[in-house]
Amino acid sequence: MRENGGKAKLIEGVAPVDERASGRPPDAHGARGEVTVPFHVPFLDEEETRAVIAALRAGSLGGGGAYSRQVEAHLRAVLKSPAAFFVTSCTHALELALMALRIGRGDEVILPSFTFPSTATCVLRQGAIPVFADVASDTWIMGAEEVSRCLSAKTRATILVHYAGHPAPAKEIAARLPAGCLIIEDAAHAFGAMTDQGRPVGMLGDAGCFSFHATKNLTCGEGGALVLKDPEIAQRAERIREKGTNRSEFLRGEVDRYSWVSEGSSYVASDLLAAVLVEQLKKSPLIYERRRAIWHRYAQRLAPLAARGGLQLPILQPGVQSSYHIFAILVAPDRRDGLRQQLLRRGVETTSHYVPLHTSPYWRHATRNAQRPLPVTEHIGRSLLRLPIYPSLEPAQQDLVIDTLYELLSA
């Protein structure tokens, strides 16, 4: 039974679901019925459009312009970070971080297998070795015990993934690491999240990496940021980002010409994208508040169904502040994909999430299937279902998601 009397209301301007979020290519969408509740809708209005036009008119096209400086100043202020770099993606922020931190050939880097490939590809690009860890069955995040299990004499760093926007236990993990072992945060989901001690995510280790991709809470289409504490590492990152030159120092008037001074690549994002992000950052409190309310409404309304064993709900550690990027549930693995199809037939778009990296075709081939099993990650990979969560989600739409889950999972 459909809440609105069987009439599917098409939402205007519905963006197609990103293939990474849905796990299927965009051209596979034709087979589905009308979507009443899309999986994701970015929160954009006329201000972003006006900002891009203003940036175009001002000729602010390349990187390092006025809008990028505004973005970076904002990040430094809210994260209390001495250095912030607006870059082309979180993937590039991770690559830049590992280059600047000089993670190198043969170094081992511990990271969860339950993550996006970028958390691992940045390690491989340095000639280093990813060591895949399991996640905890309640938080779906890599814990300190598991990091301890993965340590070896070659461990050089660990990458924490703040899955869904919930802070990973950085302090507990740091306490288990040998001296000199680095912590990098993949905070792709977690801009605005905080620990129970009020410390901003991204500032819990040696480098913090954020995503402003189209599917994230705040977006400029494709974009990311790297925050760093150490001034020497920050100078290295700044030069690598600018093709191995000291162009940023030149733009600040610190040198009278710029030249090739280090290894490098091109991770500078266009000022046009920064113009969009400036507007998104202004909306950040509203976006956060709406996501928070929707997350807690799901948790509260679905609790009786969870108590009956129909599904497993996500948990929030006491005192932490999530960014509420994802609301996901766990259902029986043999039920998950069929449930997605049933929900879609009722107009509700949901998605699965990561295929665990240690079971992915690339890694299986690279290791000739010699990777140790990670049972919790494998179970979560098969049973996790993400529900729609975004600021413009109407209560009636959310009710439809909840009621349909009750209908399908009570049977």
Closer CB to ligand PLP, residue 115 or residue 350?
A: 115
Least CB distance to ligand PLP at residue 325 (A): 9
Residue found by looking up tokens 């600018």 in the block: 242
Q: With CB under 6 A as the contact rule, which of the stretches 8-16, 89-97, 164-172, 392-400 interacts with ligand PLP? A: 89-97
DSSP H or E run through 160 = strand 155-161
> Is the separation of the CB atoms in 23 and 344 below 8 Å?
no
Site string for ligand PLP, 184-223 (x = CB under 6 A): --x-x----------------------x-x----------
Q: Which of 22, 89, 359, 404 binds ligand PLP (CB under 6 A)?
A: 89
Least CB distance to ligand PLP at residue 39 (A): 14
- 72: tokens are 């970076």
* Structure letter (DSSP) for residue 177: S
**99 phi/psi in degrees, rounded to 5:** -65, -50
Task: Centre a 10 Å sphere on the Cβ of residue 172 and count the other Cβ atoms it contains.
Answer: 13
Q: With CB under 6 A as the contact rule, which of the stretches 113-121, 137-145, 148-156, 246-254 interacts with ligand PLP? A: 113-121
* Structure letter (DSSP) for residue 329: E
Helix (H, G, I), strand (E, B), or coil: what is residue 81? coil
Environment class of residue 29 by beta-carbon count within 10 Å: exposed (0-12), middle (13-18) or buried (19+)?
middle
Environment class of residue 78 by beta-carbon count within 10 Å: exposed (0-12), middle (13-18) or buried (19+)?
middle
Cβ within 8 Å of residue 195, ≥6 positions away: 167, 170, 171, 201, 204, 320
Q: Which of 17, 52, 136, 161 binds ligand PLP (CB under 6 A)?
A: 161
- Asked if residue 126 binds ligand PLP (CB under 6 A), the reply is no
Least CB distance to ligand PLP at residue 235 (A): 24
Closer CB to ligand PLP, residue 325 or residue 336?
A: 325
Nearest-angstrom CA–CA distance, 232 and 234: 5
- Asked if residue 116 binds ligand PLP (CB under 6 A), the reply is yes
- Asked if residue 95 binds ligand PLP (CB under 6 A), the reply is no
- Asked if residue 158 binds ligand PLP (CB under 6 A), the reply is no
> Is the separation of the CB atoms in 205 and 177 below 8 Å?
no
Q: With CB under 6 A as the contact rule, which of the stretches 87-95, 244-252, 271-279, 338-346 interacts with ligand PLP? A: 87-95
- Asked if residue 91 binds ligand PLP (CB under 6 A), the reply is yes
Closer CB to ligand PLP, residue 35 or residue 90?
A: 90
Residues within the interface to ligand PLP (CB under 6 A):
20, 89-91, 115-116, 118-119, 161, 186, 188, 211, 213, 224
